[in-house]
Chain A
Amino acid sequence: MKIIETYNLTKIYSSLRRKSSVHALSELNLSVEEGTIFGLLGPNGAGKTTLIKILLSITYPTSGSAKILNEELSNYLVKSKIGYLPENHKYPPYLKGGEVLEFFGKLSGITGVSLKKKIDELLEMVKLTKWKKAKVKNYSKGMMQRLGLAQALINDPELIFLDEPTDGVDPIGRKEIRDILLDLKSRSKTIFLNSHLLSEVELITDRVGILNKGKLLREGAVKELTEKGEEYKITVEGGSLDEITKEFISTIVITNTGNNIYSVKVSNMDDLNKLLDLLRKNGIIIREMVKQKQSLEDMFISLIKESEKGNA
């Protein structure tokens, strides 16, 4: 089931003073499946936060429409099933950690014993139990993020929006947040994640979308997006590929990367098998053969550069 769907979603910010307008989102069509972790990537100003804000009716679209949990955005009651951790969130500084959760829990419709139980459970989960009675003005950035995550989960949401959840969190804290997200996924929660930390996104997301200047450049499973076609790294012993593969030159691209390691790009599996047969025939031992992938970061950077060139 699709839990988020957008149809030609467009947001234009107009400035009367400057007589100019900024296209934060341009005819965005996107869908997110239930029970998945979806990562939205993009450089600063790409429109990632605007998209979340529109989906939560914090900002309104200029045109287009969207559905969330199969409901129109205008139905604010659907937010009882949604959790949100905004970027640079602020809590009233006079409240204590537990009171912040109490306030947002009450606004989410939870009261009484179940709220108290949930508060203790979540503070335990984000390791802030000892800080329950400390005022949030004394919290560090990392602690604020962890409290923010607890706040986003106070209503046991089906869909969770996280905007830069690991911002300001140390590596151990990040790992803990990743584990929490994976645990939520195992409980069939859907997570929509905005992050700059591509290596982290790569570790936990099922699908990613890449946004630049309000346009969705690419969307798909992380595995699909990071595969480099039929490219292999082959480590050999007892000979060189340089001489014996000349006859394949038109169909196979081989690059010697040193230390008997070769990068091999083939156009089809037949060519690859022919190459392997040839190596064996020439007494060359194949020590290792690995299908090549590019990191999400590499793919992201090249995609954004391509897009910038296209726009220029």
Chain B
Amino acid sequence: MYTGYMNSGRAPLENHVTSLYERLGGEPAVSAAVEIFYRRMLTDDRVARFFDGVDLDGQIAKQKGFLTMAFGGPHHYTGKDMRAGHAHLVARGLNDEHVDVVIEHLGATLIELGVGGADVEAVAAIANSVRDDVLGRPAATPARRG
């Protein structure tokens, strides 16, 4: 089991001065998390069909990018990427319920890795922030400049 979080020698920071990504231990932690997360998704009948026929290695790489973003780590994903990457799934019926399932498994994965409640909520909030992009909807709150 991955124990970097517990061994970091620091108490979990509730105010997110450092990102969860850094506190978990960066890439190795995301690699551990992505496997737990993706196994959960593939064995959940509510969402498994969306992964029929997809390339496992390619999918793991994508999920790693997503988890890194959700954990507040370095990423370059944009709303446009999220829309383009999920459009074919929206056409197959991807909706809010499925996004809820993703967020549920994300939380369960973190709990399995020993991550505390405040961080789980923060991750869920980040994942939730891309919901409209993933589902190809106009953003609920239009982005404002300034």
Answer yes or no: do A and B interact.
no
Residues of A within 8 A of B (CB): none
Residues of B within 8 A of A (CB): none
